[in-house]
Amino acid sequence: MDGDQARGASIELVTTDPGTHPLVGSPIPAFSLPNQFGEAVSLEGIGAARAFVVFYPFAFSRVCTGELAALERMRPALEASGVSLHGISVDHKHALRAYATEQGIGFDLLADFWPHGEVARAFGCFDEDHGRALRSTFLLAGGRVVEHFSSGIGEPRSGQDYLDAVARLSP
């Protein structure tokens, strides 16, 4: 059993309070988080642009590592379409730097470390019982959430979902 399974792979994304979940068309919740280099990345920095905000449970876990490696391979195509990537987990920025270096990840990994999970809560994808972000992706454009998709905690999101979401964006 790997780390993701040991931490409760049977948990599925469930929005317990739809009023706090940023539905498609809603403004993006404001945030500023340090990336793996300690640099602040804020809503103002990415909100008006096209960007995927990718919440994942933990660095160094099997499913997350596979997902982020797949996103790194897709990054050139996404960036060519004008879409940036930003991963968010509750890991500390120093852990994220070691992880990004070890895995060769070239996009921002943001630390929602303290207050613990505050941004994941604002996006409605924090698992209170296990203290982690749920596996949830938001496509942002023009300061709004334009797409959302997710998968169970122990299952990777499909790379095709990212490509399909980008294809649906107007030029």
> Alpha carbon of 27 to those of 60, 142, 149, 168: distances in Å?
31, 9, 17, 19
Check if 125 is active-site: no
Residue for token pair 């994941």: 120
| Distance (Å, whole) CA 100 – CA 24 | 30
> Is the distance from CB of 144 to CB of 5 less than 8 angstroms?
no
Question: Quick check: 104 and 72 in contact, CB under 8 A?
Answer: yes
Show the tokens assigned to 166.
């980008």
CA distance 63 to 56: 9
Active-site entry in 33, 59, 64, 146: 64
Cis peptide before 115 (omega within 30 of 0): yes
Distance CA 21, CA 124 (A): 5
Catalytic residues: 64
